[in-house]
Structure 1
Amino acid sequence: MLQLRPGCEHCNTPLPPDSPDARICSYECTFCARCAETVLHNVCPNCGGGFAPRPIRPARQWVGRTGLAAHPATSTVTYRPVDLAAHAALLAAQGGLPPTQR
């Protein structure tokens, strides 16, 4: 189950569980849409993969023991601004490959 991390790892912008601006990679590294698109250019600085919109967990328990009440978002903040020089080297090494070819 996704942790639903509370903020962007790079700029620390709040990303509550219902935020349509949250982006995650397959390892659940979490960034805001602005950082994922304009700063990181759809390349996760932690794994080199791409980003996808983070799903929104229902606030209400619709089926069984589900929803935010039963499975709340984590409150643990992961704030580690990206080393932009290292990220530029990663982008260069990938040579513009799309996520499906990395």
Structure 2
Amino acid sequence: MISIHDLWKDYNSKTALRGIDLEIEEGEIFGLLGPNGSGKSTLMKTLIGITKPTKGKVRVNDMDPSESETEVKKMVGYVPESPHLYESLSPREFFEFIGSVRGVPT
């Protein structure tokens, strides 16, 4: 389960995330859509522990991503907009490679 409550992320004087509340149950499929600059990447980076929130609470299966980054990354799939590495791999091969690096069984 993913649980986000009153999530804020500021970069100096710019607010990227403002009071986000979200619950995603186990097995639920969720799509995150929005225009450029709307905070999608910031939300995902916060969800997997790459970026720490300015304020608020994020939990993935009751774990704080900023404290359990490796474990959370094993449970959440995230491909950044431009993963420039390994352009010769098919999408399946890329995911299998990333999974093997992270210790996720294929």
TM-score normalized by the length of structure 1:
0.21
Relative contact order, higher structure (CA 8 A, sep 6+):
1
Q: Which has the higher strand share?
A: 2
